[in-house]
Amino acid sequence: MGFGWTISIVACCLNLCKHRWVQELAPVVDVSYLDGLERVVICDVRWSLNGPVGRVSYEAGHIPGAIFVDLDTDLAAQPTVKAGRHPMPSPQAFAKTLGGLGISEKDPVIAYDDSGGFSAGRLVWMLRTLGHPAALLDGGLNQWDGPLEIGTIQRSPVTYPIRSWPVDAFLEMDEVEAYAKAGVVLDARAEERFLGEAEYVDARPGHIPHAVNAPSTANLGPDHRFLSPDALRDLYSRYGIENATMVVAYCGSGVSACHNLLAMEHAGLAKGRLYAGSWSQWSATDRPAVTRS
């Protein structure tokens, strides 16, 4: 066998390894994964309740080559009282968004923000739910020690195939309360909102009956990076979780709940489900709400 054949075989093996790596992309990756990757799309998903602060911050400085993904318009349908503040977009709308952003079905995605992954986690969870390789950049923008790029990056639009949301990845409002009696319903909000001691944005204070408070901030260490898988398994065992397949996560509007879902997957506890309407939907109805009092 000649030298040319040897080169071809080595190249083929490298391509297979690279393809296998893409398919097995973990839900959380270190910043070193950005070195030397081909085709990866880096997504900046910074966001704030106070409006377009994320886009302004992105334009002032982002990881070179990163595109901006708007949580409010790219990762959610229009908010309504009936559906909540960040309803899931239709499969058609999400496919159009991804294509418009220049993300093809073959492009692995690594997303980041500047808040520990609480907004970028929404994009990563949505993509992984569709079988698209995607990961959170552990520690976010703070882990990038290279120069930042200013302005806006626009990739050429592509056609992204329409993929239906898997039914088993979600739980609807009518199912949640009954489900909490059989499985585990995790509330990712801060304790004061869970207990009804404070409510900043939604119609009523409190939480869904039988829900367990699991603040998503507990997934992170002091450096705003994820705890180790062993530490995360220990954390979620305190909530009575050994396997996430019987877990439904919610929060204020279905965003930080994705952080909990990714943390459980990162810990090797399998994949849970999302109640996308979350408290913003529930609190706008006359369904029961539990408070400390």
> Hey, which residues are catalytic here?
251
Is the separation of the CB atoms in 290 and 196 below 8 Å?
yes
What are the counts of helices (DSSP H) followed by strands (DSSP E) for the chain? 10, 9
- DSSP for 242-254, written as a single string: S-GGGEEEE-SSS
Q: What letter represents residue 271's amino acid? A: K
Q: What distance in Å separates the CA atoms of residue 274 and residue 261, rounded to the nearest whole number?
A: 8
Q: What distance in Å separates the CA atoms of residue 87 and residue 72, rounded to the nearest whole number?
A: 10
Q: What letter represents residue 119's amino acid? A: S
Nearest to 98 by CA among 115, 106, 258: 106
Furthest-apart CA atoms within the chain: distance in Å: 79
Is the separation of the CB atoms in 186 and 240 below 8 Å?
no
Quickly tell me which residue has 């993929």 as its tokens.
163
Q: Give the DSSP H or E segment for 91.
A: helix 91-101
Q: Where are the beta strands (DSSP E) in 88-176?
A: 109-112, 134-137
